[in-house]
Amino acid sequence: MIEIEGLRIELSGFALQDIDLSIKDGEFFTLLGPTGAGKTLMLEAIAGVVPITSGRIRIKERDITALPPEQRGIGIVYQDYALFPHLSVLANVTYGLSYQRTDPQASRKWVEWLMERLGLQPLAHCSISYLSGGEKQRVALARALAVNPSVLLLDEPLSALDPNFREEIRDVLKKLHKEVGITFLMVSHDFAEVLFLGQRTAILNRGKIEQTGLVSEVFQRPATPFVAEFVGMKNVFPATFRDTKAVVDDLELYLQSPPEKDKRYVAIRAEDIVISKEKVSGNGINVFQGKVLELTDRGIYHEVAVRTGNVIFRAILTRGALFEMKLPEGKDVHIAIRSSAIHVF
Amino acid sequence: MKIQKPIEPFFWLTFVCSSVVVAFILLPLIQMIVQPSFQDLKETLQDPDVRRSIWLSVYTSGLAAFISFTIGTPFAYLLARKDFLGKRFVESIIDLPIMIPHPVVGIAILGIAGKNHWLGHLMHQVGIHVMGTVTGIVAVLTFVGLPFYVNTVKAGFEAIPVRLENVSRSLGASLTSTFLRVTFPLAWRSILVGIIMCCARAISEFGAVIIVAYHPMIAPVMIYERFTAYGLKYSQPVAVWLILVCLVLFLLLRIFSLPKENQT
C-alpha cells in the first residue's frame, strides 16, 4: 500500500499541493492529466529524486519520506527509457543486482525469466543504440523489475513510441502486471490508454487532484468540469436545479431523479445526443428544436454543433448517417436527449 | 548535370575572412618551424638545459592538470547538477583567472605565499616553498588552468541526462556509486578534453611564472631568456621543440579520446 498524505512540492512558478492518495498493493493505478499538470514531478517525488516541501509518503507502512532514492525500493521507467548508453542490454538489466541482498542464484533466475518474458534474450549482448523504441522500453522495464521493487513507477511509458510499438508495450504492461504482482503507478495523458490498463485513477490538473476513483467511474461520472471535458464529455454546462429539472440558460432539461444538493453542472456525452429531422417523442426524453451551426469532419465520424436557444450542443454522426440526413449548416433539426444520459455533478 | 547556383557575395566574404584567419595563425608558426636548420635543432636538443626545461614544462603542466582533475571534477559536478544561492557568483569566481593579467596572477600568489601572510607562514613551517620552486610553478599553472578544466567538464556533466542518475539511484546505487558507474564513464571524454585544455593553457603560461619562479626554468622562460640574451636565432629552436612536444602529446590525447564507432 502506498499512502501519500498532504504532499506539497513548491518549485519556482509551479506547486503540487494537497496531494492525498492511497494505492493498494498490487494495483495498476494511473495518474492522469494534461501536460504540465505535475504528474512526472509527483512520480519523481515518490521515487525520492525531487525534494518535497511537506507531506508524508509511506509504502507498506514504512515511512520513506526522508529516505534516499536507493533505499526506497521503488523502480522507475521513463518515457525516454533513460537506458545507460555505455552498457549492453544485459548490463543494463542487471545493473541493480549488485545492491541486492537477496540470494544471487534466485536473482539470476528472476532476471533470466524477465529477459525471456520480455523477449530480450537474443539482444542480451547488443549495444543500446541498435534497439528500436519498443525494445528499449522493454529493456527499461526489465531493468526496473530486476531488483524486485515494491512499486514500479511508469512515466508515460507509451508516449514516445510509434503506434505499433505502443500497442505492443501496452499489452506487455497489462500482462506483466498480472504476472509479477507488483504495484504499478503509471502516469499518462491519454484516457484511452488508462481505460485499457488502469484499475483506479487520479486526475491531476494544475498540481491538484481533481478526482480519484475507478477508471470506469471517473469515465461515467466525472466530478468536475475539467474531468468531464478530459474524459471526452463534449457537453458540459453550468446549471441550476429545480425538482427534477436542470435549467441550462433558457433550456429546461428533465432529469431521471431529483439531484442531490450542491450540484452545479450537467454533462452529456456527444454520442448520447440524437439528431433527427422529425420530432421524436417518448417518456423520459428531452426534445429540442435547433439549427445546425457547424459540421466538423473528424475522420471516421462528424461532429455536429446544434444551436438551441443560447445553448450549443455537440453530437456525433457517422458518415453514412450524415449522408442520408443531408444536413447542411443552417438547417433546422430536432435533438433528443434521454434523461438518463444527463450526468449531474 | 549539376545545376550551378549563383554564389552570394556573403559566401565570398566568409571565404576571404576564413583564409585571413588561418593564414594569420599558420604563417608565423610555419616560418618559425622552418627557419632553424636541422643542425640547429639537433644541437639544441643535445643541450641538457633545454631538455630539462621542456621536461619541466611538460610535467608541471601535467601536474597542474592532475590537480585540476582531482579537485575540479567534484566541483564541476556540483556546478552542473545543483542550484544554490550564489551559484552565479561562484561561477564568475571560476572565470577570474582567465581575465586577470598574467603577472598579476604571479604577484597575487606570492602575496599569500610570503611569510607575512598566515598561509605563507604556515607553509614555511611545514617546509613548502613557493618562490623559485617547482611547487610555485605548479601552483601558478593550476591557478591559470583550473577554469578551463572546470568549465569544460561542467558542460560535459550537464550534457548527461539527470534521469540516468535518477534511474541508477532507484536501482539501489548510492550517489557515489552512481557517479562512478554512470556519470564518470559517460563524461570521461569531456574530462579528457578538460585535461587537454588545462594542460594547453598551463604549458603556454609565461607571465605569471617568471614572477613566481624564474628558476628552475620552464621552456617559455628559457625561450624568453635566450631571445633577450642572444636573439631570435637562438630562441627559435627551443620554441620549435616545445611546439613539437606539445603537438605530439595533444595528438595522442585526442586520438585516445576519439569516439569509437559504436558509441555515439
Using a CB-CB distance cutoff of 8 angstroms, which residues of chain B are in contact with residue A75?
170-171
Q: Could you tell me the CA-to-CA distances from B212 to B94, B107, B114, B115, B228 in Å, in that order? A: 21, 7, 11, 15, 19
**Does B263 lie at the interface with A, CB-CB under 8 angstroms?**
yes
Cβ atoms of A181 and A26 within 8 Å: the answer is: yes
Better pLDDT: A299 or B150: B150
Q: From A40, which residue of chain B is nearest by alpha-carbon distance?
A: B163
In angstroms, the CA B174 to CA A70 distance is: 6
Put simply, the answer to whether B185 touches A86 (Cβ < 8 Å) is: yes
Cβ-Cβ contacts under 8 Å between A and B: the total is 71
User: What is the CA angle B190-B194-B199, rounded to 5?
Assistant: 150
What is the band of B262 on the pLDDT scale with cuts at 50, 70, 90? very low
Pairing verdict, β A151-155 and A183-188: parallel
**Does A281 lie at the interface with B, CB-CB under 8 angstroms?**
no
Mean pLDDT of the region A27-44: 92
In angstroms, the CA A143 to CA A124 distance is: 12
- What pLDDT was estimated at residue A320? 85
Q: Which residues, including other chains, have CB under 8 Å from residue A310's CB and lie 6 or more apart?
A: A249, A250
- What pLDDT was estimated at residue A1? 87
Cβ atoms of B44 and B236 within 8 Å: the answer is: no
- What pLDDT was estimated at residue B263? 44
Q: How far is A173 from chain B (nearest CA, A)?
A: 19
Put simply, the answer to whether A82 touches B263 (Cβ < 8 Å) is: no
Task: For residue range B235-261, list pLDDT tens digits in order.
Answer: 999 999 999 988 888 888 778 777 654
Task: For residue range B94-136, list pLDDT tens digits in order.
Answer: 999 999 999 999 999 999 998 889 999 999 999 999 999 999 9
Mean pLDDT of the region B74-96: 95
Put simply, the answer to whether A76 touches B166 (Cβ < 8 Å) is: yes
In sequence order, the β-bridge partners of residue A144 are none
Task: For residue range A138-194, list pLDDT tens digits in order.
Answer: 999 999 999 999 999 999 999 888 888 888 889 999 999 999 999 999 999 888 888
In angstroms, the CA A301 to CA A321 distance is: 9
Residue in A276, A213, A247 with CA at minimum distance from that of residue A344: A247
What is the band of A326 on the pLDDT scale with cuts at 50, 70, 90? confident
Task: For residue range B189-231, list pLDDT tens digits in order.
Answer: 899 999 999 999 999 999 999 999 998 999 999 999 999 999 9
Q: Which of A53-67, A114-128, A256-270 has the lowest average pLDDT?
A: A256-270
Q: How far is B237 from chain A (nearest CA, A)?
A: 45
Using a CB-CB distance cutoff of 8 angstroms, which residues of chain B are in contact with residue A82?
161, 163-164, 166-167
Q: Confirm whether the ipTM is greater than 0.90.
A: no
Task: For residue range A37-93, list pLDDT tens digits in order.
Answer: 899 999 999 999 999 999 999 999 999 999 999 999 999 999 999 999 999 999 999
Task: For residue range A189-223, list pLDDT tens digits in order.
Answer: 888 888 889 889 999 999 999 999 999 899 888 99
* 3-class state of residue A293 by DSSP: strand
> Considering CB atoms only, which of B163, B171, B185 is closest to A99?
B171
